[in-house]
Structure 1
Amino acid sequence: MNYIRHLQLVYQQFMEDERLNPSHISLYMAIFQEWNSARFPGELYINRQQLMLSSKVRSQSGYHRCIRELDVFGYLQYMPSHNPYQGSRVKMFTFRTSSEQADDHRDPILEQVAAHYYPKYEQVDEPYINSNKQQTLKNINNTSPTFFENEIILFFKKQNWPVTEAKKFFSYYQNQYWKTTKGNIITDWKDAAQKWIARYKRWQKEKKVNQDFLKTSKNKDYGQPL
């Protein structure tokens, strides 16, 4: 697929489509980036939280409305998943002029790279899920841990820590795919939260010291010589 040509045509479509608002465009570009990173597969598994973070769409209702309307408007095909063990999928439509033919050529080397970094997950049979739920959950947590924002906020509240820091903590590590700066997967987010707050308190202390240093007396005697 011609990356530049596709973007030129889709931008033109954006300008002519009066149904769109900035959230539609931002979400489409976030999905397009994931599609590009996966080397333009026929179908793409998506992560709602990651797309909301990338597109800056703040609410779940806004996200679901935008992605469904992008489907209705003909920009992509949205295939929502009702299986908690499998993400939703999208099929991106290639934009081209009426005189251009579809380019279905695939580079086998790029496909091997994409298969390595973006494996395609197969549908999981329901009986297997029911009989192996605990083991499946364990495997998911070991390979790609997902921590819920509400649980983190509740933990911060119990510790009497600022809720704003809970949201910053969740947003930061969600963007890092719950990995440390060294690339290690975080298995104990509460320990990471303790370190986060320790840095926060240290920063607050340094900030207060700097503010005290900059304070000057309001009762100045301008009669004294310098």
Structure 2
Amino acid sequence: MEQLNPLTEFFRSIEKDQRISITHIGIFEALLQFRANQGNINPIKAYRHEIMKIAKITGPVTYHRCIKDLNEYGYINYIPKKNRNQKSVIYFLV
């Protein structure tokens, strides 16, 4: 069986998921790009501003809403850090 790449699997998963918006897709793709730049590790550790820059998102409220949605909907496992000087941990589930 051919193993699907994460973006293809994500698109298959969201095909009928009406909760997912273009912003969710942009953030997920930014997470994948960040992951690729880190050597395709799972999980990744990242600051919010690193992902927002890749996704071209300027509003932290929008970012947090969408990343929490992706976590709640089961596409990622997002573990935020309360300390601004520590990176959040993001596991890819899809």
TM-score normalised by L of structure 1: 0.38
1:6 matches 2:28: no
CA distance in 1, matches of 2:84, 2:6: 33
Matched-pair contact (CA < 8 Å) for 1:52–1:58: yes
Q: Secondary structure, in 3 states, of the residue corresponding to 1:84?
A: coil
Runs of 4+ in 1 over 3 A off after TM superposition: none
Matched-pair contact (CA < 8 Å) for 2:35–2:41: yes
Q: Normalized per residue, which structure has more helix?
A: 1
TM-score normalised by L of structure 2: 0.86
Per-residue deviation, residues 126-175 of structure 1 (Å, max 9, x unmatched): xxxxxxxxxxxxxxxxxxxxxxxxxxxxxxxxxxxxxxxxxxxxxxxxxx
**Matched residues, percent identical?**
25
What letter matches 2:57 in structure 1?
V
Q: Secondary structure, in 3 states, of the residue corresponding to 1:31?
A: helix
Q: Normalized per residue, which structure has more strand?
A: 2
Per-residue deviation, residues 59-90 of structure 1 (Å, max 9, x unmatched): 11000000000000111011000123311111
RMSD of aligned Cα (Å): 1.5
Per-residue deviation, residues 91-127 of structure 1 (Å, max 9, x unmatched): 111x3xxxxxxxxxxxxxxxxxxxxxxxxxxxxxxxx
Distance apart, 1:52 and its partner CA: 1.2
1:57 alignment counterpart:
57
Gaps of 5+ in 1: 96-226
CA distance in 2, matches of 1:8, 1:44: 19
Q: Secondary structure, in 3 states, of the residue corresponding to 2:27?
A: helix
Larger radius of gyration: 1
Q: How many aligned positions are there? A: 92
Flag the 1:13–1:34 CA change in 2: closer, same or farther, 3 A. Answer: same
Flag the 1:5–1:84 CA change in 2: closer, same or farther, 3 A. Answer: closer
More contact order relative to length (CA 8 Å, sep ≥ 6): 2
